[in-house]
Structure 1
């Protein structure tokens, strides 16, 4: 096998990942009218984790955290993104996402494919210190953007303050207690400002 041929699986993989740039989420980037995409979201999480290294438990392998965050949403290439507050059909969506992750990762050589799938499963299980810290990043960034956007996606999707706290509080507080203490105070201020939806949440 030539050197060029040995590179082809990696080129195919990265070209497939480019599709993540077309997966729309529900939050708008600051100052822009369009919605963010899942590739932007993953990049921002990884940089946030790197920035908050001093708030992570001392035992956390930060490189593993960043690797998880860069890979955790690649299954959305096939499934699309679903707002975190939509819980109906969650099990079926996760199974579909798992199949997508396997499809995409098997483009790579077997050892790397297994490693990437392992990282995805570790993130989903949220049991290791690394996965818990990664989850804290994942759940906090949409809150941070909404706080800067006057509750844009909360208002547009009818999301109430108690939903945000119930869905995001446990994983953020578990993975990065100082971050949740900060966000919890800001959420109270956002509620006073009327930045949450008053109606029932909508899926999609």
Structure 2
């Protein structure tokens, strides 16, 4: 049996890192599990949290990118997804149809800046990656935005429109929120349009 090899290179850097700072940062990331979203988990009565959503989003983006043979850098894509909701640790989740939705990025950006400054954070370009997913126009950022809209929509369809009903959401609100997908992913937009009509017929969306 071969001896266990060290994961760390023999360098002065390894001996200067305070592991307690590293673990403090890991616990900061753990706080995302305490941020509840408005979507309900399928087959249950509880809300999903933002950490669960981030995992689901990462898997969905990875799968769709390969299924449709989209020309993306998978490492970049997954990094964008993983930082996507980190700002919610400080800002909380903002409902897609809330009046304050347009301003959500302000508190989230401040939260990312705080995480960037944490002594135990080893991701040197955390803020840069977050900005790319928030404002960038790359293939990876575009795919992320499409899938990020699909998942809560899908959860609503499979929980009898529970979140839509609770929020008095209208058909036109949902159509407007997903309109951008028509240009970047027309086949998914066509499917969404059909499901919006179905949800409206079921009374899950207000027909307005």
TM-score bin (small chain): 0.7 to 0.9
Larger Cα-atom Rg: 2
What's the secondary structure of 2:38's corresponding residue?
Answer: coil
Equivalent of 2:44 in 29, 32, 42: 32
Task: Give the alignment of 1:41-80 within 5 angstroms.
Answer: 41-54=53-66, 58-80=70-92
Change (3 A) 1:178 1:110: same
Task: Return 5+ residue gaps in structure 2 as ranges.
Answer: 1-12
Q: Once structures 1 and 2 are overlaid, which stretch shifts more, 7-16 or 102-111?
A: 102-111
Worse-matched range after superposition: 82-91 or 51-60: 51-60
Report the TM-score when normalising by structure 1: 0.85
* Residue aligning to 1:98: 109
Gaps in structure 1 of 5+ consecutive residues: 200-204
Number of aligned residue pairs: 196
TM-score (norm: length of structure 2): 0.84
Matched, 1:191 2:204: no
Work out whether 1:121 is the aligned partner of 2:131: yes
Go from structure 1 to structure 2 and tell me whether the alpha carbon gap of 1:89 and 1:52 turns closer, same or farther (over 3 Å shift): closer
Deviation (angstroms), 1:112: 2.3
**What's the offset of the Cα at 1:53?**
1.4
Residue 170 (structure 2) pairs with residue 180 (structure 1): no
TM-superposed deviation, 1:3: 4.3
What residue in structure 2 maps to residue 131 of structure 1? Answer: 141
Distance 1:182 1:54, change over 3 A: farther
Is 1:168 aligned to 2:171, yes or no? no
If each structure's helix is expressed as a fraction of its own residues, which one has the higher value?
Answer: 1
Counterpart CA distance in 2 for 1:28 and 1:169 is 23
